[in-house]
Structures are given as C-alpha cells and as structure tokens.
Amino acid sequence: MKAAVYQGKQRFQVKEIATPVPGPKQILVKVDFCGVCGTDVHAFMFDVAQPGAVLGHEFSGTVAAIGGEVSEWKVGDRVIGGGGEPPVGQEPATRVHPRYNYRTMGFQHGRTRAYAEYTLMEPWEPLRLPKGVPPEAGALCEPSAVAVHAIRLSGLRLGDSVGIIGAGPIGLLCLQAARAAGASRVFVSEPAPARAQAARKLGADLVLDPLKSDVTDGMVQATNGVGPDVVFDCAGIKSTLDQAMNTVRRGGQVTLVAVPWEPLPVLPVDWMAREVRLATSWGSRPEDWRIALNLMQTGALSTASIMSEASFVPLEKIQSVFEALMKPTTQLQVVVKP
C-alpha cells in the first residue's frame, strides 16, 4: 500500500509499504479521508515524530478485512477512525498517566496510522459512520470532538458571551459548539481572510483582525466594557494567551485549547486583579465524539463550513502541505485523500 512515512528532519516519503494484515482480533480499514491536524504539523515541525512512523488520526474509512475473532464488524462497513470506548486497562496514557507530558511522551509509539491507504484498528476503536454524515465529515469527527470537549469542560453557561482567539479548524468548530451549548454572542479574532470569512458565515457576531485592531478593546467594547464570560485560545501563539487573559471578564474563564510548543509571554499583573481562571482542555473522550456526531446530524455543527474545494489533497502532496502549514496560513481544514 501507499503510505506517507515520516523520515525525520521534516521529511515525509510517500512510498509502498506492506499492507498490514489484521490479527485475529483486529480490523483492516481502508482510509477514505484523513484530516491534517495541528498536532501532526507540530510533530513534523518540532521533529518529534519517530522516523518510520505514519501519522494521521482524523479519518474515516471502510472495513476492508477482519480478523477471525471479530464479530462486531463486517467487510464494507463505513467507520469513523476513533471515538470507541476503550476497554478497562486500555485507556490512553494521555488520560490516565499521572504525569503525562505530551512533548516528551506523545510520540513514542510509531503506530501506522492513516496517512496511508490502510490502517489497522482494534474492533472497539472506531465508530460506525451514521447515515446522513458524509465520510468527509466523519473524518473530522475527531477535531469536532476536541471542540465539544473544550466547550463542555469550560465554564460556559446558557446565555454567556464567548471570545474565540483563532479561527482555524478548531476555532471554527468551537464557535459552532459554543453556539450549540447556548452561547448568546460569539466574538472571533482571526487575521487570515478566508478563516475570518468562514467565522462570519457561521454567524460570529464580531470578527476582529488582530493585525488591524486591538482584540481586547474590541471584545470588551462589544460586551459593554465587561469582557466575554469565557474565552477560548484556539491559536496558542506568542501573544494570544496573554490577550485572552486580558480580554475575559472579571472572574471569567480562559480555556487553552491550542497546544503551544514554545514559551508564551504573559504579564499577569495586567489581569490577575480580575481574578480570572485559566483552564486547559486536552483532546476528547468517547462521549465527545458521540455528541459531535449528534451535532453533525442535527446540523448544529457543519464540517463543510471549514472546508473548501482546495481542502482536499492527494497523499503525494503531503510534504508541501505540511511545509505550508508550518507558517501562518489562510487555509481552512486540509484533508488528505490517500
């Protein structure tokens, strides 16, 4: 099969490798679509992926072969590449390790994932692709679940105002999940025109360009001098965490959703007198995937809104796609089609 194998030093090689054969308790999934995640871009950019690894965890596919002891699936079933409930003892380390550190521990295992034509899964891992959810949307169930998780974990309550810093795929999904959770008004900060436009289309009440105006001032003014109740940092770049803390209302909460890999400057004296809280959100849990799917089915969450025709790229283009995504980008979601 064809796979994009990480070579180290920011290089992928798309080449033929042996198609995996499912063990008695495994299934082989033919990958239909695989979303490119910021996580993968970081693994590439900071060169922490293991040479030989095949990345890609946002996917949908079709069951192509099953092991002899698998009864849950049959060949031809359409699946979403995750969201299943792990059996006791198989919970991911991110959830159960008492001192989990993503930077040093996140890329130890070079499992062959979905920037490839096929990938192996345990039968409990995937979800069934429901009727009415296209496979392109199913592939983005993972980032949608990340947004759902962030919103559920935050202090957001019905009628609250929300600030979202960064309208990349996760920011745009957070915008929709916040609305679904009852946010009254949503304010977005985004410099890239295509992303800002997508936020407007999704009904953001105010979209600010941080290169042209002061985001804190804009959001504070829009809330009658108070500041949004909850702010989500979906950018995680140099200035945004401090900006989020500066923007949120007295006693409000900032949730860090993006994953900054470099130190971020903050000046707490500016905002700590307002007794604001900072929370972090990490990935998603199986219930978030089910909620995300439900929101997709009811139309409350649209993944089509974060894609354009330019979103779909063949596996062969993966090197240039990752190089482009290392820099600030105007791209919406990128989806690889193996």
Match 């999704």 to its residue by tokens: 202
Q: Which is nearer to Zn ion, 64 or 318 (CB)?
A: 318
Q: Which is nearer to Zn ion, 57 or 185 (CB)?
A: 57
Ranked by CB distance to Zn ion, the top (closest) residue is 37
Q: Which is nearer to Zn ion, 58 or 136 (CB)?
A: 58
Is the distance from CB of 38 to CB of 13 less than 8 angstroms? no
Total chain residues near Zn ion (CB under 5 A): 3
Under rule CB under 5 A, residue 178 binds Zn ion: no
Is the distance from CB of 335 to CB of 33 less than 8 angstroms? yes
Is the distance from CB of 190 to CB of 174 less than 8 angstroms? no
**Least distance to Zn ion from the beta carbon of 146, Å?**
6
Q: Which is nearer to Zn ion, 142 or 229 (CB)?
A: 142
Which window, 34-42, 103-111, 123-131, 191-199, contacts Zn ion (CB under 5 A)? 34-42
| 173 CB-side CA count, 13 A | 31
3-state helix/strand/coil string of 189-228: ECCCHHHHHHHHHCCCCEEECCCCCCHHHHHHHHCCCCCC
**Least distance to Zn ion from the beta carbon of 325, Å?**
13
Restricting to residues 59-98, name those near Zn ion by CB under 5 A.
Answer: none
Q: How far apart are CA 212 and CA 313, in angstroms?
A: 32
Strand boundaries in 122-205, DSSP class E = 127-128, 161-165, 185-189
**Least distance to Zn ion from the beta carbon of 147, Å?**
11
The contact mask relative to Zn ion for 111-150 (x = CB under 5 A, - = no) is -------------------------------x--------
First to last CA, the chain: 10
Contacting Zn ion (CB under 5 A), which of 27, 29, 36, 37? Answer: 37
Residues paired with 164 in a beta bridge: 188, 232
Which window, 33-41, 73-81, 304-312, 318-326, contacts Zn ion (CB under 5 A)? 33-41
Is the distance from CB of 182 to CB of 250 less than 8 angstroms? no
**Least distance to Zn ion from the beta carbon of 306, Å?**
13
Applying CB under 5 A, the residues found at the interface with Zn ion are 37, 58, 142
